[in-house]
Amino acid sequence: MSELGLASRREADEWISRGWVWVDGQRVTELGTRVTPDQHITVDPAATSRQAEQVTVVLHKPIGYVSGQAEDGYEPAVVLVTERNHWRGDTSGRRFRPEHLRGLAPAGRLDIDSVGLLVLTQDGRIAKQLIGQDSEVEKEYLVRVQYEAAGAHPGPLPEVFPAADLERLNHGLSLDGKPLLPAKVWWQNEDQLRFVLREGKKRQIRRMCEAVGLKVVGLKRVRIGRVVLGDLPPGQWRYLGPDERF
């Protein structure tokens, strides 16, 4: 059921236990029941109705908040998801309810020193789409940098930074002994790079930049798939719209 995108694994277990799943017209209540590719799975409307009630939140995370569990005295970003911080420009039509916080978890990381688009969701299907092992959803970042060698060569960074190192940022670097997937990296302006990645290793962009002599002084995620940060103010959030897809 998870592979077909019908439900997350946790949801599938719950639906089966509740008797909400049929295979070729026969109700299935035993977890781990094997299904062949030619068999047809159907689910009770009650299951899809419950699934439709799950929410996904788009948050503009400021500096000083961690993505997941609280650590080293820093609060998790989910504490910002309150009625007071709900963006007035939200066009989803949803109104905040306390139950929307139940099981709301980050679908991906954004480190404490970074800002921008963070997704939190109750929907296991979206979490799998964004952070699953086979995810190919693009993440886009604006990265302000300093070049360690620029002091000896004053001028705009795109002019003094070696073209070969820019090529390495696009493809050719490794982290933790494993080659990185090809990226898209180009100069946005004289001291800012734009990164588009299809993976998200811990502090990946900062470590990539360090490998070519660049120091990251500001990092902002502006897009995940087809969902953009847009005009969402720092510290505020909105619901993912019914017609939005990553």
**Amino acid at position 117, single letter:** L
Tell me if residue 111 is catalytic.
Answer: yes
The catalytic position among 13, 111, 165, 191 is 111
- 3-state secondary structure labels for all residues of 134-171: CCCCCEEEEEEEEECCHHHCCCCHHHHCCHHHHHHHHC
DSSP state of 22: E
Q: Which residues of 139-148 are buried (b: 16+ CB within 10 A; e: fewer)?
A: bbbbbebebe
Location of structure tokens 């946790």? 10
105-106 and 41-43 strand pairing:
unpaired
Where in the sequence numbering do the catalytic residues fall? 111
